[in-house]
Structure 1
Amino acid sequence: MEISFIGAGNLAWHLAPALENAGHHINEVFSRQLQHSRQLVSNLFDAHTHSDLNFADSPSRLFILAVSDDALENVCSRLVLPEDAILVHTSGGQSLQLLEQWMAIYSDVPVHTGVFYALQTFTKGLSFMAFDEIPLCLEASDKETEELLVQMGQNISDIVYLITSEERQALHVAAVLACNFTNHLLTLARELTIRDDLEFDLLRPIIAETFRKGLAASNPADVQTGPARRGDLTTIENHLAFLADQPKLAELYQVMSDSIRHHYGK
């Protein structure tokens, strides 16, 4: 498959080499910041940077929108594609229908649309991630495009699902809870230990064991521990008193404790 990337951020950094290693050809990379596209192209075999969003003469059939959700419509409004091209976005939160609507409004030629969503957290600049065990959630506007995306997905991953936009939205919200929110809680825990001149490393064993148990259990609820799980109101009140000088953190502690207590009927 002849492919062009629009966007050279966290996802593109890992996905472009994975597709190339699976036998696909990356022709072009466009980024608003030329330096970013140059960095990505330097890791690819025969790709080159593309200076604008006019791809009318591109040899590519597939165009991958690897940009932020906020930038999607703006990019689509300026994008010029070859006739019968396939345009996919990689967003967890934006629907396929929205992409179809934008192409109907902004494109002068017929364009097939789809979604190629990799359910993983990516960081640009790190070693390239293997996609074998990364779930790929796909959706397409027509059967031919669906079959093409499934085949491409199976070239790089053993976990490929066809899901609707509504199902993908649910997965995306769940991923934010499990990934982004969890990492933020770790950040807050580290700041709290540093404030009291303690080593964050003291928490690493309990963090590691918590994640090990949660991932090993068929239901993480079965291995929940802590004062809120026990209904230990005295400890909760003591913790809230300790956090009295950090009202935002105390509010978060209260909300999380209330959620746990409610879940277990405490």
Structure 2
Amino acid sequence: MRIGLFGAGRVASQLGPALVAAGHHVVFVWNRSLPAATALAAQLPGAQVLVSPAAPPLPADVYLLAVPDAAVAPLVAGTTWPSGALVAHLAGALPLAVFDQQPTVRGGVFYPLQTFSAGRAIAWAAVPLCIEARDPATEITLLALAGSLSQHVLRLDSAQRLKLHVAAVFANNFTNHVLGIADALLAEAGLPSALLAPLVRETVDKALANPPFSVQTGPAVRQDLPTLAAHEAALAAHPAWQTLYAQLTASIQAQL
């Protein structure tokens, strides 16, 4: 397929080469930063740089909006789309209704359930791709495009996708933040963060193999009040973390 790619950030920089590897042609790249768009286009054979979305973009079978959530609606409204253009955003929390302001556009969603960071390769075949569309023809095209990248393609409506996005924030962003706190506490004690690596791996492996609540361990589950009090006292220099510790303890105990 011919793909028009809006964005040159962490997602677009991984998605563009993946589309090319799957046999598609990225016809252009647009980004608010022209140097970023130019750098990404240089990695995609035959891709041009779209200087402004205000002018009609080059013809494409699918236009993908790999831009921040807050930029999607203004981009949809401010771009001069060809009549009947298939335009899909990649956001987890934005509803399909974001395309209602452009009735001549065939709107869709192409949401990759993954975290993207510079310097880390993504195995796209294992990435769940969540599809939603305003009409059957758009759905067929997006399903085909998703299937060329991933072995895990799902049809989800906006409400399901929003709940999935919230779950992903808990599983990824919040987990990473808590690991950051653990790393900082080890550093304060002069201990290497690698000490936690076997524990973290076993925790994740166990949680993926079982219902996570059913394999919860630790002082909160044991109702070990002296240890809980000692931990909170040890966090006295970090009131926000102390509060978070107490809140997480209460949440764990509420599931017992």
TM-score, normalised by the number of residues in structure 2 = 0.96
What is the aligned counterpart of 1:162 among 152, 155, 161? 155
Structure 1 pair 213/179, CA: closer, same or farther in 2 (3 Å)? same
Q: Residue in 1 aligned with 2:114?
A: 120
**Does the CA-based 8 Å contact 2:7-2:30 persist in structure 1?**
yes
Contact 1:112–1:145 under 8 Å retained in 2: yes
Match of residue 164 from structure 2: 171
Name 1:5's counterpart in structure 2: 5
1:259 aligned residue: 251
Q: Which amino acid aligns with 2:225?
A: L
Give the 5 Å matches for 1:1-266. 1-56=1-56, 58-97=58-97, 99-104=98-103, 110-127=104-121, 129-217=122-210, 219-264=211-256
Percent sequence identity is 39
Q: Is the 8 A contact 1:228 1:261 kept in 2?
A: yes
The Cα of 1:77 is off from its aligned counterpart by: 2.6
- SS of structure 1 residue aligned to 2:205: helix
Task: Give the deviation of 1:55 after TM superposition.
Answer: 4.9
116-125 or 162-171, which moves further after superposition? 116-125
TM superposition score normalised by structure 1 = 0.93
Q: 1:118 to 1:152 in 2, by over 3 A?
A: same
Which amino acid counterpart does residue 183 of structure 1 have in structure 2? N
Cα deviation, residue 160, structure 1? 0.5
Runs of at least 5 residues in structure 1 that lack an aligned partner in the other structure: 105-109
Matched-pair contact (CA < 8 Å) for 1:11–1:124: no
Q: 1:64 to 1:55 in 2, by over 3 A?
A: farther
Which secondary structure does the structure 2 equivalent of 1:132 belong to? helix
Residue 84 of structure 1 deviates from its aligned partner by 1.2
* Number of equivalences: 256
Per-residue deviation at 1:175?
0.2
Indicate the SS of the match to 2:126.
coil
Evaluate the alpha carbon distance shift between residue 209 and residue 37 of structure 1 in structure 2; reply closer, same or farther with a 3 A threshold: same
- CA RMSD after TM alignment: 1.3
Which amino acid in 2 is paired with 1:179? N
In the alignment, which residue of structure 2 is the partner of 1:107?
A: none
Question: In the aligned structure 2, how far is the partner of 1:210 from the partner of 1:202?
Answer: 14
SS, match of residue 100 in structure 2: helix
Mark the runs of 5 or more structure 2 residues left unpaired by the alignment: none
How far apart in 1 are the matches of 2:118 and 2:56?
29
Confirm or deny: 8 A CA contact 2:87 2:107 kept in the other structure. Answer: yes
Amino acid at match of 2:50: H
Deviates more, 1:61-70 or 1:118-127: 118-127
Residues of 2 paired with 1:179 and 1:167: CA distance? 18
